[in-house]
């Protein structure tokens, strides 16, 4: 009889521990609301946001990886023979680098390497001195345009990018007619 009583107590104790663990897990999940793991909801009165939970993930001595959501980014790879490859998308960094390098090689580029990158806030422009392997680049932002052009007009980031590339090409002694824009991409189309 005593043995049966002990088994019941052990089963009851195990069930109690399981319920406690489940209760703790559900309260943590509820505390995080619609936020990513490691974040809790902040704000009120219709204003919502997420803030990091202090010391989330324990202090095992390892740096916690920071989550970075994909943004629209662009990577430009350039070959030593003046060929460029481009990759743009809402995708994580490593894949874009690989795609830009593959694009450069597919187009006949030799010795392709990542030449420069740009993101949502930039306008990327690539130019080439026609008939040469010489490449030029510019990365412009709306803030930069405001410093040059007091009133932002549609296309002003593109225009500033073209101007920078052509000016660099001309500074190397090439006539303006030989300085060609071979690639241009402006992110966030709602900005000029």
**Any idea where the domains of the chain sit in the sequence?**
69-119, 120-191
Report the pLDDT value the prediction gives residue 35, as an integer from 0 to 100. Answer: 60
Q: Can you tell me whether residue 13 is helix, strand or coil?
A: helix
Report the pLDDT value the prediction gives residue 11, as an integer from 0 to 100. Answer: 66
Degrees (nearest 5) of the Cα angle 191, 169, 165? Answer: 5
- Spatial distance between the Cα atoms of 187 and 117, rounded to a whole number of angstroms: 12
Q: Can you tell me whether residue 133 is helix, strand or coil?
A: coil
Report the pLDDT value the prediction gives residue 47, as an integer from 0 to 100. Answer: 46
Report the pLDDT value the prediction gives residue 178, as an integer from 0 to 100. Answer: 96
Q: Across the 192 residues of the chain, what is the mean pLDDT of every consecutive 10-residue run?
A: 61 65 53 55 54 52 43 80 84 75 94 86 89 91 59 69 93 96 74 40
Report the pLDDT value the prediction gives residue 167, as an integer from 0 to 100. Answer: 94
- E strands along 45-140, which residues? 47-52, 72-78, 84-90, 113-118, 123-129, 135-140
Report the pLDDT value the prediction gives residue 67, as an integer from 0 to 100. Answer: 41
121's CB contacts (< 8 A; 6+ apart) are 141, 142, 187, 188, 191
Report the pLDDT value the prediction gives residue 42, as an integer from 0 to 100. Answer: 56
Report the pLDDT value the prediction gives residue 190, as an integer from 0 to 100. Answer: 40
Q: In what helix (H) or strand (E) does residue 83 lie, and over which residues does it extend?
A: none
| pTM recorded for the entire structure | 0.56
Report the pLDDT value the prediction gives residue 38, as an integer from 0 to 100. Answer: 60
């Amino acid at each position: 009889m005593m043995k049966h009583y002990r088994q019941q107590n052990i089963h009851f104790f195990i069930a109690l521990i399981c319920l406690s663990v489940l209760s703790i897990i559900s309260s943590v999940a509820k505390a995080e609301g619609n936020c990513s793991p490691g974040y809790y909801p902040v704000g009120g009165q219709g204003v919502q946001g997420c803030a990091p939970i202090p010391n989330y993930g324990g202090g095992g001595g390892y740096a916690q990886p920071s989550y970075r959501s994909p943004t629209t980014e662009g990577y430009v790879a350039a070959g030593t023979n003046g060929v460029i490859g481009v990759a743009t998308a809402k995708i994580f960094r490593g894949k874009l680098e690989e795609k830009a390098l593959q694009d450069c090689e597919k187009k006949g580029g030799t010795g392709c390497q990542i030449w420069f990158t740009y993101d949502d806030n930039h306008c990327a422009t690539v130019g080439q001195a026609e008939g040469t392997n010489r490449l030029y680049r510019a990365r412009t932002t709306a803030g930069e345009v405001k410093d040059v052009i007091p009133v932002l007009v549609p296309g002003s980031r593109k225009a500033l990018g073209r101007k920078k590339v052509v000016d660099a090409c001309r500074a190397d002694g090439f006539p303006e007619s030989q300085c060609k824009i071979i690639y241009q991409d402006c992110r966030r189309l709602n900005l000029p």
